[in-house]
Chain A
């Protein structure tokens, strides 16, 4: 394979037609993944807390909704949010927003279960201790349970975010110019180097996911460790007792 072809296409693969055109390629993949990660974290926390605290009236429909989003293939949901929702509600949803929306909903559904499991895993003892100290339920959740639960939930969050980076490749189906879409364009143009192009693109995703995995794990366990440390130091017996 001629290396010049490769080097010429590298900027297009990495940032699309930017700055003369919209952002694309690996940079757009990152933007999609980060926005979906943030949105799904918010949705997941909200859903998980709702599952942990709500009564049966709210919990059953919530479980059904979450079950729906966990059962539907990502591809189908992207089709729905991109093509069908606008027709139903007469709003214009730009491509990026539709993909972020679909990915956040699915990510949020998975994370809701993990958050719920994490909160349960912290244990009834902590709940009751908090309540007996006179804290309201929300305060117990915020100051006692969540800091401890986050360390338990870290692997699930990280797994889900890595999945997100991979799922952004599906935006290709709806013409959003992220890495897989751009790679396919280049492959269509060059025609005779599919192995090299797809291996290279796979390698870029591999780097993105592995780096994200390490960084997210470090960041989440660091704040968990900091919370633990502050809890432990606060619990030090006062000298003289």
Chain B
């Protein structure tokens, strides 16, 4: 019924996939950092900090990502002064170690920001659950050994919390890849956007969306495989001790 896509269109899809992967990686790094900060804030000693972190998590977990992205792209853009918007929209490049690093488009920045803020709330919850999952006895034992709270946290509690949170954390990374498809609504040329473009020009709906679907599933499968390998290695390393 419909033939294969011409190489030009396959390249569009490939580029879109590249943007998806880049976006997901950048957002994963930022969201993990932000999420761990948030999780620790929820255990902070000062009540306003705890409440603020809790409120952030509730607000960003219970609103749809689509609405958040539209807010960042269209809403915030009207709030920022025009000079800032001009700077964000002109292409810049910096030469680092012989490579030219280009400042990404505003769509990418807004998409990255939206994804990070959204995923950080979920990752914070996973870390929070991980921290709570460490038995109270561990805290007491560390204190009994004479470790300061900070040392106890760093050497005793944190490694165990990370081990508990690792599988769900990778689950959140898989969600990140899938959620990146929403950035098509703000004009970011990632995989779903590219699939739509190809479909508009060639009308080969099945081929275009089929390739995109396969690529998404491949990306998610890779993350799942990595998750298994990491979990398995950690278990082995603990067993050896």
Judge A-B direct contact (beta carbons within 8 Å): yes
Nearest chain A CB to B117 CB, angstrom units: 12
Q: Which of B59, B70, B206, B220 contacts A71 (CB 8 A)?
A: B220
> Are the CB atoms of B64 and A198 closer together than 8 Å?
no
State whether the Cβ of B155 lies closer than 8 Å to any Cβ in chain A: no
The reply to whether B221 and A195 contact each other, CB–CB distance below 8 Å, is no
The reply to whether the CB of B75 lies closer than 8 angstroms to some CB of chain A is yes
Q: Does B217 contact A (CB under 8 A)?
A: yes
Please give, as numbers and ranges, the residues of chain B lying within 8 Å of A169 by CB-CB distance: 64-67
The residues of B that contact A180 with a CB separation of less than 8 Å are 64, 66-67
A146 at the interface (CB under 8 A from B): no
- Which residues of chain B have C-beta atoms less than 8 A from A75's C-beta? 181-182, 184, 192
Q: Interface of chain A, helix or strand or loop or mixed?
A: helix
Q: Is A72 an interface residue (CB 8 A)?
A: yes
A213 to B185, CA, bound (A): 28
A166 in the interface (beta carbon within 8 A): yes
Asked if B70 and A68 sit within 8 Å, CB to CB, the answer is: no
Which residues of chain B are near A172, meaning CB under 8 Å? 66
For B218, give the chain A residue with the smallest CB separation. Answer: A71
> Is B9 located at the chain interface by the 8 A CB criterion?
no
Complex: chain B residue closest to A172, CB-CB = B66
Q: Are B67 and A205 in contact (CB-based, < 8 A)? A: yes
Is B17 among interface residues, defined by CB-CB distance under 8 A?
no
Taking CB atoms, residues of chain A closer than 8 Å to B182 are 75, 170
Q: Would you call A198 and B75 a contact (CB within 8 A)?
A: yes
Question: B216 near A198 (CB under 8 angstroms)?
Answer: no
Give the residues from 68 to 86 in chain A that come closer than 8 angstroms, CB to CB, to chain B. Answer: 68, 70-76, 79-80, 83-84
Q: Is A201 an interface residue (CB 8 A)?
A: yes
Q: Is there a chain A Cβ closer than 8 Å to B78's Cβ?
A: yes
A84 partner residues in chain B, CB cutoff 8 A: 205-206, 209
Residue of B nearest to A169 (CB): B64
CA distance A31 to B21 in the complex (A): 35
Q: Which residues of B contact A205 (CB under 8 A)?
A: 62-64, 67
Cβ-based interface call for A54 (8 A)? no
B205 with A83: CB separation less than 8 A: yes
B103 at the interface (CB under 8 A from A): no
Is A65 interfacial (CB 8 A cutoff)?
A: no
Please give the distance in Å from B213's CB to the nearest CB on chain A.
5
Q: Is the CB of B62 within 8 A of A195?
A: no
Whether the pair B209, A80 counts as a contact (CB closer than 8 A) is yes
The proximity string for A residues 70-114 relative to B, scoring 1 for CB distances below 8 Å and 0 otherwise, is: 111111100110011001000000000000000000000000000
Tell me, yes or no, whether B68 is within 8 Å of chain A by CB: yes
**Is the CB of A209 closer than 8 A to any CB of chain B?**
yes
Cα–Cα, bound, A74→B213 (Å): 11
Contacting pair A71 B221 (CB below 8 A): yes
Determine which residue in A162, A183, A187, A195 has the highest number of CB atoms from chain B within 10 A of its CB, and name it.
Answer: A195
Residues of B within 8 A of A35 (CB): none
**Contact of A201 with B76 at beta-carbon distance under 8 Å, contacts A76-B192, A79-B209, A206-B59 already known:** no
Is the CB–CB distance between A184 and B181 below 8 Å?
no
Q: A195-B76, A198-B74, A198-B75 are in contact. Are A162 and B62 (CB under 8 A)?
A: yes
Nearest 3 Cβ contacts at the A-B interface: A209-B62, A169-B64, A195-B75
Which A residues contact B (CB, under 8 angstroms)? 68, 70-76, 79-80, 83-84, 87, 162, 166-170, 172-173, 180, 183-184, 187, 192, 194-195, 198-199, 201-202, 205-206, 209-210, 213
- A–B Cβ pairs within 8 angstroms, 11 of them: A75-B184, A76-B192, A80-B213, A84-B209, A170-B182, A172-B66, A173-B185, A194-B74, A205-B64, A206-B63, A210-B62
